[in-house]
Amino acid sequence: MILTIYRLKIPCFALLVTLITSSQVLATEAKGLVRILTVGNSFTNNATELLGEVAESRGRKLIHKRLHIGGSSLKKHHDLAVTPTNPIQGSGTPYSNGETLTEALKSEDWDFVTLQQLSIKSHNASTYEPYISNIAQLIHRFAPQAELVIHQTWAYRCDDPRFSKSLYQEGEPRTQEEMYQGLASAYAKVAHSLNAKIIPTGNGFWRADNDPKYRYQPAEDAAARKFIFPELPNQTYSLHKGYNWKKKDGQNRLNMDGHHASLAGKYLAACIWYSCLFADNPELVTFRPDEISADYAAFLRKIAKEVTEQQSGTLSGKSIRQKRLDSDPKRYQLVVRASEVDPEIGEYPSIAFTRGTDDRPNDLQHASVDTRYESKGKLVLWLMSHNEELFERLNQYGMHAMSVHYARGWFSKLCQPQPATPLARGQVRLEAATGLDQSDELNLQYRDGAAERTRRFLIWLHDKNPSANWDQFLTPDFDRVRWDKVIVSGASHGSTTAARFAKYQRVDRVVMLCGPRDQDQDWQELYSATPESRFFGFSHVLDGGWTGDHYCRSWQLLRMNRFGPIIDVGESSPPYSHTRRLISNANVEGDARKAHSAVTPGRASPRDTQGNYLYEPVWRYLYTSPIERFGDAVAAEVDCNLNQ
């Protein structure tokens, strides 16, 4: 491992303070706005029906989108998410609001996405898989900023007919307690496997239902008596809807619903959800439905506080990191072998993806940051050979930068002499990036994908260079990369893999220098996890990839023309009409190879008479321009050859 510290003469921007200790790094945001997407059924409706009013009474704001279908299981939501399959327009069946799950995930910067099982299946952990894991993967791909949360539903009322011998079905719980114990165990097991927190609504129902004073006690003769409309059995303190009258065929009929929540149950659930989402004391909630007495409402709020404070694994607001301030700001450069970060990495000599030797290591990984510049909270993952001049500029923009050792020596070895399908080379790229099984021609371990090596490298950097806040690019438990904070970038081959990865995984933006190529492939038009407005490209017009229409073809398939025309940077200035497509005609002495390398900092990149790079403003624009600003859509260029 090599740690190099550079000290440059630059203005000091702020007074220095001491490093915040690791125990202070994670803080919980108790106030403000929470954005939540709930995927569930009528139980989710019940639990969140009063949530807005509860939150408003404490001055909190809630943005809430519901994807609910009555009686739906995890399998139902999973099947809706993946069928019908449409790789171009996006897979999935729309909910009643007209959106598929993936569209809903992309529609807002959600803080939380909740999942739950159908109540009658909730006690059986085997019914959750593979559906909940597959949905979780979609959430992490399309909404990487969102925290997955498990809504623990509640057991039915003790006198629910489902517990009677006449309605009992094999494998189902026979009592309220058996149902509660089963669902509590199943939800805990699933939450642990997914590294997810729980909203313990079921715990709250169980505790309230077993309180000596406020427990519901069914009337002994309720099931046997003949009630006359509108008479009902005594249901004091029932958290479930219970007995109710419904009209059927013009007649009032007594109905028993021991599944769904009563008004009191909805209030208890809302207080539990509120406490979990905002990390605020539910006993301070002032909203109370008129139908619930003050004493009983206070009891329910007390239960909500107890179950959200005393249960391990319970959600407690948005986890945020307080920025550490470096007590001795400087530029840090860190270099380490991938095999030192993870000694278990694999060897793939057939595609020139190996560790190398101690004398000639192949697996060096680079990272740098300059803590003297105000941080933008962005990490640039560079998918090409280390470029120190580029990294220095990225650091001056206030960005962290890193490159990992990943599979990129396969280009002349796989998909030869021609790719088997229009997606084959793209699938090799995707497996190289993700480590997931995507291609028949590559067989990587998951740990050897660029994504997992990025995660492990970030953990290593956090340990070796904590004052630089590398952990901001990881989830609180370090189990995932916060891809919404990552700019993936590369040149040529690397820019093409960066674009392919961004189609699969939402990232902050994609910067493609002299690329992407894959002119005989169609993956560029696949449905994109990363919004299309976040792809940026820059090429020299003498580059063979440009003269051969490789880049313009990819740009069109990526639909980049929707965000502005192709602009020559020599004839314009930042912000280049906020377009996503930039070209240059600067002097490279007519050399196509030099033109290919010209768009990255280095010997081939043109300079002005003072020796400064001509493309300084271009690079700053590509990596730092406001993502929400983009140019007017233009028609696709008709002189670009799409059939190659």
**Residue 141 belongs to a domain:** yes
- In angstroms, how far is the first alpha carbon of the chain from the final one? 45
Domain boundaries, position 329: 323-624
Q: How far apart are CA 464 and CA 129, in angstroms?
A: 38
Considering the domain boundaries, does residue 17 fall inside one? no
Distance CA 275, CA 314 (A): 10
Are both 553 and 572 inside the same structural domain? yes
Distance from C-alpha of 102 to C-alpha of 134, rounded to nearest angstrom:
12
Whether 307 and 432 map to the same domain: the answer is no
Instruction: Tell me whether residue 89 is exposed, middle or buried, using C-beta atoms within 10 angstroms of its C-beta: 0 to 12, 13 to 18, 19 or more.
Output: exposed
**Overall residue count recorded for the chain in this entry:** 644
Is residue 234 domain-shared with residue 361, that is, in the same domain?
Answer: no
| Whether residue 316 sits in one domain with residue 416 | no
Interhelix angle 176-193/201-209, nearest 10 degrees: 160
Q: What pLDDT score does 31 carry?
A: 59
Residue 35 parent element (H or E): strand 33-40
pLDDT at position 8: 35
Q: What pLDDT does 223 receive?
A: 66
3 state SS of 158 = coil
Q: Tell me which amino acid residue 401 is.
A: A
Q: Is residue 12 part of a domain?
A: no
Give yes or no for a contact between 68 and 45, defined as CB atoms under 8 angstroms apart: yes
CA–CA dist 383, 404 (Å, integer): 7
Is residue 633 one of the residues assigned to a domain?
no
195, burial (CB in 10 Å: exposed 0-12, middle 13-18, buried 19+): middle
Q: What is the DSSP letter of 366?
A: E
Alpha-carbon Rg of the chain, whole angstroms?
29
- Is the sign of the CA dihedral 502, 628, 619, 582 positive or negative? positive
In the chain, the number of structural domains is: 2
Q: Which of 516, 581, 583 is nearest to 545 (CA)?
A: 516
- pLDDT at 5 (0 to 100): 40
Does residue 492 sit within a domain? yes
Q: What is the mean pLDDT of each run of 10 residues along the chain (644 residues)?
A: 39 30 37 93 98 98 98 98 94 96 97 98 98 98 98 97 80 95 98 97 98 92 78 94 92 93 98 98 98 98 95 90 89 98 98 97 98 97 98 98 97 94 97 98 97 98 97 97 98 98 98 96 97 98 97 97 98 98 97 97 97 98 97 96 92
Sequence-ordered strand ranges (E) for 157-250: 197-199, 240-248
What 3 state SS string does 590-640 have? CCHHHHHHHCCCCCCCCECCCCCECCHHHHHHHHHCCCCCCCCCCCCCCCC
> Tokens in use for 386?
């280390």
In a domain, 630, yes or no: no
Write out the two tokens for 205.
Answer: 């129902």
For the whole model, what pTM was predicted? Answer: 0.93
Domain match, 348 and 381 both: yes
Same domain, 260 and 367: no
